[in-house]
Structure 1
Amino acid sequence: MLFIVLVLVLAALGLLITALITANSLWAWISIGLSVAAGLLLVVDFVRRRVARRRASAVAEQGEEPAVAASTDDDEPSTPEATAVEKPADEPAPETAAAEVEDAPVDQTALIPTAGELVGTAEEGEPGEESTDPADAEIVDELDVEVVVVDEHPRYHLTDCGWLADRDTIPISVKEARDLGFTPCARCTPDAHLAEAHRAKA
């Protein structure tokens, strides 16, 4: 976007010089038009960046909701339904037992990701969180290197992460991503790679 604006400004400058040399007002009007177009592109780029930051903040807030849901599900064994399942002495009727067997896989699917989700396939699921070394975490917290996030997903990734596939990504600095509550992807391990690259430069 900025490259296009630069080209338009240079073209407008060239046309303005041509208008002054040839004393032709048409070139001056075209130069003004290109300058206005460059200004509009700058405004559009500014608005797009603000929208991307707001979306990233919303993703960070939504990333906390699954943890709350998981803790609520962990408390479910204290409910009467869970107690009824744990009692071996009270054998339910065949129809009730069949209904409980059919319902159990649904609950487990909601609580435990499938094998494909643990790996983080491009079609479905969320990659796990990278276990970052404390020394790497201290380095990454101070870096302004760019990573990417995906709307409504709590992880940040390297730009070449295989999980991203054709998803729409939002570029953001790793420091800002961590400040907003995003966590590193276990598949592309951004913290380890960025810390190692920083040490190599140092």
Structure 2
Amino acid sequence: MLYIVLLLVLAALGLLVPALTTSQHVWAWLSVGASGAAAFVLVLDWWLRRRSTDDQPAAPTAVRTTAVGATTPDLDHQASPDDQDKQDQGGTDTPISPDQGIEPPEEDTDAADLLIVTDLTTEVHVLDERPRYHLTTCTWLASRTTLALPIDEARQLGFTPCATCHPDNTLAEAHRTSARP
């Protein structure tokens, strides 16, 4: 579609030259028409791309277990009837494998936990070309080769916490526990 827009813009410029060199207004109107057609094709392309992303199915809702043990829905996704059945039966979602090409959602880190985590140097694990950092015990990692980084460095590099293993919540809670007498 963008090639069509480029051709229409070039045609408009080509028609503008005779409109400026001659006294005939028809060339100017043809140039305006080609420019309008290019604008229409751009809007049509935008609308089609927007519509195709709206038609994609949403990911199922993940159930997150907090440190207290209560389960709360992960509000980043829409719920399906199967997810509700799993939640009613006390089950959890099957872990998402990195081989599926689907990233786990980002952990919603509490502000108090974030203040603690930014000063820690505890090692977390990252996968090359993936945006999340994980605990060693994360089920999403499976048997993939990981790179260990201090959590403060991982955050500085732009990695975000995994919602499957909750590294920020877990490490902040461990730090609070070890700081108590």
Normalised by the length of structure 2, the TM-score is 0.51
3-state SS of 2:148 partner: strand
Question: Structure 1 pair 84/133, CA: closer, same or farther in 2 (3 Å)?
Answer: closer
CA–CA separation in structure 2 for the residues paired with 1:153 and 1:113: 21
TM superposition outliers: structure 1 runs of 4+ over 2 Å: 81-86, 106-109, 112-120
CA–CA separation in structure 1 for the residues paired with 2:49 and 2:120: 51
Which residue type is aligned with residue 121 of structure 1?
Answer: I
CA–CA separation in structure 1 for the residues paired with 2:49 and 2:154: 43
Q: Which one of 150, 163, 167 corresponds to residue 173 of structure 1?
A: 150
Which residue type is aligned with residue 115 of structure 1?
Answer: P
**Residue of structure 1 in register with 2:140 after alignment:** 163
CA–CA separation in structure 1 for the residues paired with 2:49 and 2:171: 48
Unaligned runs of 5+ in 2: 1-41, 63-76, 78-92
Q: Which one of 54, 59, 80 corresponds to residue 44 of structure 2?
A: 80
Unaligned runs of 5+ in 1: 1-77, 87-99
- State the Cα deviation string for residues 11-40 of structure 1 (Å, max 9, x = none): xxxxxxxxxxxxxxxxxxxxxxxxxxxxxx
Give runs of aligned pairs for residues 91-170 of structure 1, distance below 5 A. Answer: 104=52, 108-109=55-56, 114-115=59-60, 121-122=96-97, 123-124=99-100, 125-170=102-147
Whichever structure has more helix as a proportion of its residues is 1
3-state SS of 2:125 partner: strand
Shift of 1:121: 1.0
Shift of 1:108: 4.2
Give the count of matched residue pairs: 106
CA–CA separation in structure 1 for the residues paired with 2:60 and 2:145: 24
Shift of 1:167: 1.3
CA–CA separation in structure 1 for the residues paired with 2:104 and 2:43: 31
